[in-house]
A and B are shown apart, each in its own frame.
Chain A
Amino acid sequence: MSSSLTLLSWLGLSLSALAPASERVAPASLVGAIRGARERVFPTLVHLRPVFQRSFAGRTIEAQATGSGVIVTPDGLVVTNFHVAGTATRLICTLSDRRRAHADLVGADAATDLAVVRLRLGDLGVDALPHATFGDASTLVEGEFVMAMGSPLGLTRSLSLGVVSCRERFLPPMTVGGHLATGLFNTWIQTDAAINPGNSGGPLVDLAGRIVGINTRGYRGADNLGFSIPADVVEEVLAELVEHGHVARSRIGVSIQPLHELVGVFTEGAPDGVLVASVEPGSPAAAAGVGAGDVLTRFGGEPLAAVFDEDVPGVRRRLASAAAGVEVEVEVRRQGRTRTVRITPEPWRDADEVDHELETLGLTVRRMSDAELRERYLEERGGVLVTGVRAGSRAAAARPLLRPGDVVVETAGQGIAEPTDLERAIGEAGARAVLVRIVRGEAELLIAVPAPERTDTPRDPARAAEEGR
């Protein structure tokens, strides 16, 4: 009791110190507003403990995570982070009234680090659940009060209060799950409301009790630096995930750069358009004659603009939202002259979220993203990335040694573009030794994978122990 009083009095002080002319919430109503928001959102909080698979040392293992989520529809759709539930194979959720229910993964999107799961209402014996609604993140102002709700470190039904520290923070692209590019398509709401591991996937709530963001990231080693995905991005992705289970994106093969101080160099006066920094050879944009230094001013009829870094994720989202295979009109300005070109975007290729284990071989592999393939100059050829080699397996007996990071491009004479290709080729080779062609760095090596041993080898004891648990 005394501690909450301390907190409140501290709040009153800071409010009067901040108090702008257009004060949104008077100190007298703050406590009430917090209580109101709590009452609206707390019943919609979900604590998730998903079981997921990941690969380790050439085999698939199971692991458990803990995170937060928020119910957004009466029929039990829960929004959370990809890194909480995106690869879940089993989902057990605890609601705020401590009832437990199973849930099923509806869809996930690593690129925005979002996932949607559906609670099994049958487990709860209800037809509908309380749900939270989305607010407008674009009208947030720095200094405005927000609350982070969720289960920090598994401590369920926690609420922390802070302010919006920055409404539109640009963070460079990061990875989630070790290798999946994320953060490409959104800026972040930065808040000093305490966000700890376990808060992930929980809502950032304004004083009106609306979801303005999904709490996703903190900064290791920093205090009071939390980052939430803005509600508008969440709503867009949610709709896609519910409808398709994934977010279909496309690419035209350009990288863009904000105009910044280059406005005067690449445009005449008006800071409109986005600067093309790079065009991938052979890409749809290259085919349409777009080059580095061009300024894209319209895409599918809508104007584009990126002056600062913060503008870039939105433009990327806009470009990626075009349907693959459908021609789109793009207005391009080059040296003051504007022309319209037609570009047919190609599908955006994501990496596999989870590695495939080729158990008979003793190998874990995965599909690579466009960016990963390009990094290795394999965009034309494709290939499958080796992520792990199980000790004592056939793959471990390969000579020269097969290593994580190698890209399998051919097996037993067959081109390998997908993990399933590899699986099939190995299967067809049967009891014979197999020649595998890999790309390692700039070299292309041949590797002999020995024939499977005739006798049934006893199962790896470590593995048996793991499965027995």
Chain B
Amino acid sequence: MNPRRPFLVIALALSSAAPTAAYDFEKDAAALRAIHARVARSIVSVDTVVRERSLQGIPVDTPQRATGIVHDGRGGIVAPTSLVAGAIGGRPRVVSVEIHDADGARYDARFVGRDDAVGFAFFRVDDERFAGEPLEFSEEDSLEVGDFFASVRLSGPNFGHVPYLDAFMVSASVAEPKRCYVTSFAVSDYLGAPAVALDGRVVGVVGSFLLRDVPPAPKALFASPFGFADDGHEIVVIPFEHLRDVLADPPESSDATADETPPARPPWLGVETQELLPELVDVLGLADGTTGVLLTRILPGSPAERAGLRTSDAVVALDDRPLDAPPKQQNRRFRDRVAERKAGERLRVRVLRDGAELAVEVELGEQPLGAGEVDALESEPFGLVARDLVHADRAELRLPEEVRGARLTQVRATGLGGLAGLRAGDIVERVDGAPIEDAAALIATLERAEVDRVDELVAFVRRGRSTQFVHVLPDW
């Protein structure tokens, strides 16, 4: 498992070998055995399934595994945040957590919170039988370069979750940007496991730290969990110092089912813009040198619409700060200025309209959920994936508020739906005359149709500006 093991043995042998006295292998081995025995009762193996949605809205489940440490007597477990991170850069949601202890016993657990400053997530086992013993960290958490520390993790299920012991040498002691210890030994299997000095002190946890500044990469579709992409993270020993506060008061969501607390939605004004080019300034009769943006679209139901902003209004200032960006940067400047604010805040928009200047107060809303941010549900026999309607659908198709339905994001040509003529992009509004409220209702209707073995279904769909009936003939 550990390619450096043979080297480690040699290194151990050399570290305190003296030419005249025999090295006391038995002493260090006894210390390691004691660490193994003690720590094994305080660690667990944590397996999570993290669900994200692809750009098409398809759920993508990623299994994650790491070591967790029992940190209180009530089933509290601390483990790396990689357990709650996705693999494709979508908004991850933890859909299941299970843990195993050193006896191989399995328990359900729940995700209760995370602390991104230290990179740890918190889980809890609500099961009286769970007998994990809290691990005592040592306030004296220093290690020296050349010191060895031991760590214990549980093997994967193939070996029945047996505790593995290993020892690593401190290769460097890092002070900036945060104090931590780096080992050049392969320690990544021990992510989340405690680091224990050979004298028995539990000095910290093997974790991931942001150590280097790397230039911001373009937002990748496949964001990586810790360490594997060059995002500046290194796997290190995080000393107890950085964990003390968060372990004393671990983040805990009040909602038992809560996974990740959703980050605050970005602010929403609800407009599209074009640059106020000098040529336009001229023909519009505005003062020379006026800069800003022209509103090209006011999205329906948006804060901008409510505040009375209009298409072709020239926006010249936000919050009394002029939009004085150079040419070709005005749209961006406008967007950035709006993005600096928070949903719920009031934004003062100064516009020129029909030769007059007026100030419009807009209460910024929350960015509506995008197509990739709502659940997509699949019907296998009908060969389709559907999601709820989002604001962008209503804006694109100018759907009145009362229109309800489920939007098909994928239709397999050879599925029952595809064979009947359903297409990706269709909005299913009714099935057999019954209104379809959302994606869940559509999928439920289709599942019921499968259970009941119905011989036909008539879907009423909206496609672009018109509607039509689609006759689906299942062949169960």
Residue in B closest to A254 when the chains form the complex, CB atoms: B466
Which residues of the other chain, A, contact B398 by a CB distance below 8 angstroms? 377
Interface string of B267-311 (1 = CB under 8 A from A): 000001011010110111000000000101100000000000001
**Closest Cβ–Cβ distance, residue A415 to chain B (whole Å):** 14
Which residues of the other chain, B, contact A257 by a CB distance below 8 angstroms? 468-469
A115 to B177, CA, bound (A): 82
Let me know if A399 and B467 touch, CB within 8 A: no
Let me know if B458 and A444 touch, CB within 8 A: no
Which residues of the other chain, A, contact B464 by a CB distance below 8 angstroms? 375
* Contact among B283, B396, B460 with A442 in the assembled complex (CB-CB below 8 Å): B396
* Contact among B279, B311, B458 with A450 in the assembled complex (CB-CB below 8 Å): B279
**Closest Cβ–Cβ distance, residue B102 to chain A (whole Å):** 60
- Which residues of A (443-462) have their CB < 8 Å from a CB of B? 443-448, 450
Residue in A closest to B295 when the chains form the complex, CB atoms: A444
- The answer to the question of B129 belonging to the interface, with a C-beta cut-off of 8 Å to chain A, is no
Stretch at the interface among A258-266, A312-320, A338-346: A258-266
Let me know if B468 and A278 touch, CB within 8 A: yes
Let me know if B272 and A446 touch, CB within 8 A: no
Q: Taking each of B275, B277, B279, B395, which has the highest tally of chain A beta carbons within 10 Å of its own beta carbon?
A: B279
A223 to B386, CA, bound (A): 41
Let me know if A444 and B469 touch, CB within 8 A: no
Which residues of the other chain, B, contact A448 by a CB distance below 8 angstroms? 277, 279-280, 282-284
- The answer to the question of B465 belonging to the interface, with a C-beta cut-off of 8 Å to chain A, is yes
Let me know if B468 and A435 touch, CB within 8 A: no
On chain B, the number of residues with a Cβ less than 8 Å from chain A's Cβ atoms is 28
Interface string of A412-450 (1 = CB under 8 A from B): 000000000000000000000111010000111111101
Let me know if B469 and A262 touch, CB within 8 A: yes
Let me know if B275 and A400 touch, CB within 8 A: yes
A225 to B58, CA, bound (A): 43
Which residues of the other chain, B, contact A275 by a CB distance below 8 angstroms? 469
Residue in A closest to B395 when the chains form the complex, CB atoms: A442
* Contact among A293, A375, A444 with B311 in the assembled complex (CB-CB below 8 Å): A444
A443 to B311, CA, bound (A): 9
- Which residues of B (429-476) have their CB < 8 Å from a CB of A? 456, 458, 460, 464-469, 471, 473
Let me know if B471 and A292 touch, CB within 8 A: no
A465 to B275, CA, bound (A): 39
Residue pairs across A and B with CB atoms within 8 Å: the count is 76
- The answer to the question of A255 belonging to the interface, with a C-beta cut-off of 8 Å to chain B, is yes
Let me know if B471 and A437 touch, CB within 8 A: no
- Are A444 and B467 also in contact (CB < 8 A) when A377-B398, A434-B283 are? no
Residue in A closest to B298 when the chains form the complex, CB atoms: A444
Let me know if B282 and A261 touch, CB within 8 A: no
On chain A, the number of residues with a Cβ less than 8 Å from chain B's Cβ atoms is 29
A297 to B318, CA, bound (A): 60
- The answer to the question of A463 belonging to the interface, with a C-beta cut-off of 8 Å to chain B, is no
- Are A262 and B272 also in contact (CB < 8 A) when A399-B280, A443-B297 are? no
A278 to B283, CA, bound (A): 43
Let me know if B297 and A433 touch, CB within 8 A: no
- Are A437 and B469 also in contact (CB < 8 A) when A293-B460, A448-B279 are? no
A257 to B460, CA, bound (A): 12
**Closest Cβ–Cβ distance, residue B430 to chain A (whole Å):** 9
- The answer to the question of A326 belonging to the interface, with a C-beta cut-off of 8 Å to chain B, is no
**Closest Cβ–Cβ distance, residue A54 to chain B (whole Å):** 28
Let me know if B274 and A435 touch, CB within 8 A: no
Interface string of A350-379 (1 = CB under 8 A from B): 000000000000000000000000110100
- The answer to the question of B312 belonging to the interface, with a C-beta cut-off of 8 Å to chain A, is yes
Let me know if B297 and A442 touch, CB within 8 A: yes
Let me know if B284 and A446 touch, CB within 8 A: yes
A292 to B473, CA, bound (A): 21
Which residues of the other chain, B, contact A277 by a CB distance below 8 angstroms? 466-469
- Are A265 and B312 also in contact (CB < 8 A) when A275-B469, A442-B395, A444-B297 are? no
Which residues of the other chain, A, contact B284 by a CB distance below 8 angstroms? 435, 446, 448
Let me know if B294 and A446 touch, CB within 8 A: yes
- Which residues of A (234-266) have their CB < 8 Å from a CB of B? 255, 257, 260-262, 265
Let me know if B274 and A261 touch, CB within 8 A: no
A278 to B460, CA, bound (A): 10
Let me know if A445 and B469 touch, CB within 8 A: no
A400 to B469, CA, bound (A): 42
**Closest Cβ–Cβ distance, residue A256 to chain B (whole Å):** 10
Which residues of the other chain, B, contact A260 by a CB distance below 8 angstroms? 471
Which residues of the other chain, A, contact B460 by a CB distance below 8 angstroms? 292-293
Let me know if B279 and A399 touch, CB within 8 A: yes
Residue in B closest to A436 when the chains form the complex, CB atoms: B283
Let me know if A261 and B456 touch, CB within 8 A: yes
Which residues of the other chain, B, contact A400 by a CB distance below 8 angstroms? 274-275, 277
**Closest Cβ–Cβ distance, residue B467 to chain A (whole Å):** 4
A280 to B460, CA, bound (A): 15
- Are A399 and B456 also in contact (CB < 8 A) when A257-B469, A446-B312 are? no
- Which residues of A (383-427) have their CB < 8 Å from a CB of B? 399-400
Which residues of the other chain, B, contact A450 by a CB distance below 8 angstroms? 279
- Which residues of B (334-373) have their CB < 8 Å from a CB of A? none
Let me know if A444 and B277 touch, CB within 8 A: no
A261 to B474, CA, bound (A): 13
Which residues of the other chain, A, contact B471 by a CB distance below 8 angstroms? 260-262, 265
Residue in B closest to A255 when the chains form the complex, CB atoms: B466
Which residues of the other chain, B, contact A293 by a CB distance below 8 angstroms? 460, 469
Residue in B closest to A450 when the chains form the complex, CB atoms: B279
Which residues of the other chain, B, contact A374 by a CB distance below 8 angstroms? 465
Which residues of the other chain, A, contact B458 by a CB distance below 8 angstroms? 262, 265
What are 11 A-B contacts defined by CB distance under 8 Å?
Answer: A260-B471, A277-B467, A278-B468, A293-B460, A375-B464, A399-B277, A399-B279, A433-B282, A444-B296, A446-B294, A448-B283
19 extra interface residue pairs, beta carbon distance < 8 Å, beyond A399-B277, A443-B297, A446-B274: A255-B468, A257-B469, A261-B456, A265-B471, A275-B469, A277-B467, A277-B469, A278-B467, A278-B468, A280-B466, A292-B467, A399-B280, A434-B283, A444-B311, A446-B312, A448-B277, A448-B279, A448-B280, A450-B279
The residues of B with any CB-CB pair to A shorter than 8 Å are 272, 274-275, 277, 279-280, 282-284, 294, 296-297, 311-312, 395-396, 398, 456, 458, 460, 464-469, 471, 473
